[in-house]
Amino acid sequence: MVSVFQTPQHTSTPRETTDILPQALVKELPIGVLTMGAQGEIRQVNPAALKLLGVSADQLLGKTPLDPNWQVIQENGKPFALKLQSAPVKVRNVLVLLANRKSLKNLILGVYRPETGDRIWLSVSTAPQLNAENAVEEVVCTLSDITQNKLGEALTKIQQCFLSLGSDPDENINGLTALAGELLGGNWALYNRLHQGLICSWGQWQTPPEFSSVGEPCDYICYDVIQDGSNEACVIQDLQNTAYAETAPSVKHYQLQTYIGQAVKSGGESIGSLCVLYQNPFVPTATEKQLLGMIAAMISVQEERKREAIVWSQNEAKWRSLLQNSSNLITILEADGTIRYTSPAVERILGYKATELIGRKAFELIHPEDVPLVGSSFQQVLQNPTETFTFEFKCQHKDGSWRYIESTHSNLLVDSPVARIVVNSRDITERKQAESALRESEAQLRSYSQQLEQALHELQETQTQLIQTEKMSSLGQLVAGVAHEINNPVSFIYGNIPHATAYTKDLLQLINLYRQHYPQPDAEIENAEAEIDLDFVLEDLPKLMDSMQIGAERIRQIVLSLRNFSRLDKAAREAVDLHKGIDNTLLLLQHRLKAKGERPAIKVITEYSNLPLVDCYAGQLNQVFMNILSNAIDALEEQMEDNSSSQVATKAQLAPQIRIRTEIQDDNQVVIRIADNGSGIPAEVQSRLFDPFFTTKPVGKGTGLGLSISYQIVVEKHGGQLQCVSNPGEGTEFVIELPLQLATEEGA
């Protein structure tokens, strides 16, 4: 490779007007640059040009570009009349042409490089340099490698041709033959088929009108290519000096120089040959051979289609008598879903005549929702010819309605080289409609069942509430009656104790006066004083009367609490002080809060806020307080028993307590919190805590109705909220949220 932009060695001195471009710059350019003199001799060349052309500077400098291996193919996408490979063309004609055009751009050259054995495509631009007499003095040429672009163009043309192939295999073969001739730049292109002992040209491109399309095998080069059956391209050059010039009349007659052929196979058998012929020497590159092989493979596919059509026509007669008389719809599809045959039953099932569906895609009739299912099953049948697949889908009737179809897909045409799918279908619309009606009926029955179950559940809750209400009513009546009966004698006793106290004081005062005025009583009186211990009686009797007063007061308070708790005298809603209801409930439970045996007393801590009167059903809320506080006491007693039996109780566990807090929230709601420091409630129990009849207590100790009824009273009767907050080992807190004023419907 030259190291500089070189000139011929025989040039003694450079011309003063020498270089069109500076030598240092031209040397570094990535594109090839060379200059030619007025007679076409190459005067200068840079390293990039030598590399592209595959020659040395000595081989090029001083020479003209009239080398047979240089071929001008086209200019600006159109054939260029000047063929540089034709020896008679003189350089001056080229120079005159360039001079007339001033410049020549986008000239595409196919250059064969002997040293590497390949051919590249160059894009050439030429600019003539004119002297003072307007004659060409020098021509500057730039060369660019466009081989990859040419390959991309060829592949694009192949792809476009493949995509445009129609349903007629013969037309497709002719188009593919022409594509081979165009891409390989030949004079002719032929596809020759061995048929019934003769060679027939089924595809021709640019052949002379008088060219014979049928001949004896021995007269054609392609016969040997067919017989050889090689997967490699066959290249024969200098045909005029081969034996084919004698056996094949067209070789000499049309002055053919080069033959490139590729065997075409069908079903593993070599049946034809695709070839490109040249009237000049031509050496194909490896890429051009691959292009020829790709086109030959596509022609092979078309041959398979023709062969398959023949097999189909033979099989069709075999199946027709069976299919024509079947009550089911029998359809035969190609691998792409094209309908090739449909039995007469199609008119009864889908409303179409058979001729209306032949050639259409079966997927056009399938409901869009079912296309993925059918497509997937279709592919499985193609991939597994020995298996059958049955499935259901919706198919459109000619009148636009949808029919339910049950189909069995099978690949039964095993004699065909191309997969065929046989579809056996039957109309199941009536069955599907019956199934749908049955499902709707079942859904209605389930709905009715759920409604009945809900009604039964509500009835049970109502019954439970009525029973509990009746119990509470009876209990309230009993409590009220007992309170009333006790109240009479208690009132009598309570009312007379002050008088008895006053009388006692008077009598004691009188005795003291006697003792003062008669300090020496009779012996009998002294004996009586000693016997009754008069001094002790005088001291203890006032205390006794005070105790009787306190006891009577206590009885009166208990009676009052019983009457307040039952609220039978005030069953309707009213504005009440909730604190009194809580205190009354605690008073009734006082006996359970006291210490028992080894169990310490349960401490009750009240943290009352300043609550206004609350519009509510007081008796029912007292029932809620009673249920929650009773459960808290039960939980603490159970914990005390467990701690006593395990003997691992801590100090905190030995001090059971219940904390009651009240507060106002958002100025329109009262919150009551009742918390204990018991063992807590597990999460799985909390989720069912307010369910009717759910209880964790032993049989006989709980009905499972207390919290359920409490929930109904708070939530449904008062429009509030009842929640349980608990963690095992951390105690339990019930939160009651009540509106200050009941809604109208709540009070109705």
Half-sphere exposure of 440 (CA within 13 A, CB side): 6
Which phi and psi (to 5°) does residue 681 adopt? -125, 130
How many domains in the chain? Answer: 5
Residue 371 lies in a domain: yes
The residue ranges of the chain whose pLDDT is under 70 are 1-26, 64-118, 219, 309-327, 412-419, 461, 464-481, 483-484, 557-558, 560-572, 644-654, 692-693, 698-705, 744-748
Residue 315 lies in a domain: no
Residue 739 lies in a domain: yes
Among candidate residues 120, 145, 170, the one where a domain is terminated: 145
Which phi and psi (to 5°) does residue 231 adopt? -85, -5
Among candidate residues 388, 403, 427, the one where a domain is terminated: 427
User: Contact, 56 vs 50, CB < 8 A?
Assistant: yes
CA distance 692 to 708: 5
CA distance 196 to 257: 30
Q: Using alpha carbons only, give the angle 39, 41, 47 rounded to the nearest 5 degrees.
A: 150
Instruction: Write down the pLDDT at residue 429.
Output: 86
| Whether residue 140 is found in the same domain as residue 231 | no
| Whether residue 596 is found in the same domain as residue 733 | yes
Q: What is the CATH number of the domain that holds 592?
A: 3.30.565.10
Domain encompassing residue 270: 151-308
User: Residue 480 has what DSSP assignment?
Assistant: H
| Whether residue 44 is found in the same domain as residue 123 | yes
Q: What is the 3-state secondary structure (H, E, C) of 46-94?
A: CHHHHHHHCCCHHHHCCCCCCCCCEEEEEECCEECCCCCCCCCCCHHHH
Residue 15 lies in a domain: no
Which phi and psi (to 5°) does residue 663 adopt? -160, 160
| Whether residue 141 is found in the same domain as residue 157 | no
Which among 190, 259, 265 has a CA at the least distance from the CA of 226? 265
Q: Locate 191 and state its tokens.
A: 């596809």
| Whether residue 271 is found in the same domain as residue 331 | no
| Whether residue 628 is found in the same domain as residue 714 | yes
- CA 221, 227, 228, 233: dihedral to nearest 10 degrees? 50
Q: What is the 3-state secondary structure (H, E, C) of 186-250?
A: CCEEEEEEEECCEEEEEEEECCCCCCCCEECHHHCHHHHHHHHCCCCCEEEECHHHCCHHHHCHH
Residue 1 lies in a domain: no
- CA 274, 276, 282, 285: dihedral to nearest 10 degrees? -40
CA distance 26 to 33: 7
CA distances from 529 to 206, 510, 515, 542 (A): 164, 15, 11, 18
User: Contact, 365 vs 396, CB < 8 A?
Assistant: yes
User: Contact, 324 vs 343, CB < 8 A?
Assistant: yes
Residue 192 lies in a domain: yes
| Whether residue 556 is found in the same domain as residue 632 | no
User: Contact, 505 vs 461, CB < 8 A?
Assistant: no
Residue 676 lies in a domain: yes
| Whether residue 422 is found in the same domain as residue 483 | no
| Whether residue 58 is found in the same domain as residue 137 | yes
| Whether residue 199 is found in the same domain as residue 293 | yes
Work out the angle between the directed axes of helices 578-588 and 618-646 (0-180°, nearest 10): 40
Instruction: Write down the pLDDT at residue 536.
Output: 86
Q: Using alpha carbons only, give the angle 141, 145, 146 rounded to the nearest 5 degrees.
A: 120
Residue 417 three-state SS:
coil
Q: Locate 92 and state its tokens.
A: 């001056």
| Whether residue 705 is found in the same domain as residue 678 | yes
Q: What is the CATH number of the domain that holds 103?
A: 3.30.450.20
Residue 17 lies in a domain: no
Among candidate residues 510, 534, 566, the one where a domain is terminated: 566
Instruction: Write down the pLDDT at residue 594.
Output: 86
| Whether residue 100 is found in the same domain as residue 201 | no
Locate all alpha helices (DSSP H) within 345-428, ordered by sequence: 345-350, 354-357, 371-383
Instruction: Write down the pLDDT at residue 746.
Output: 44
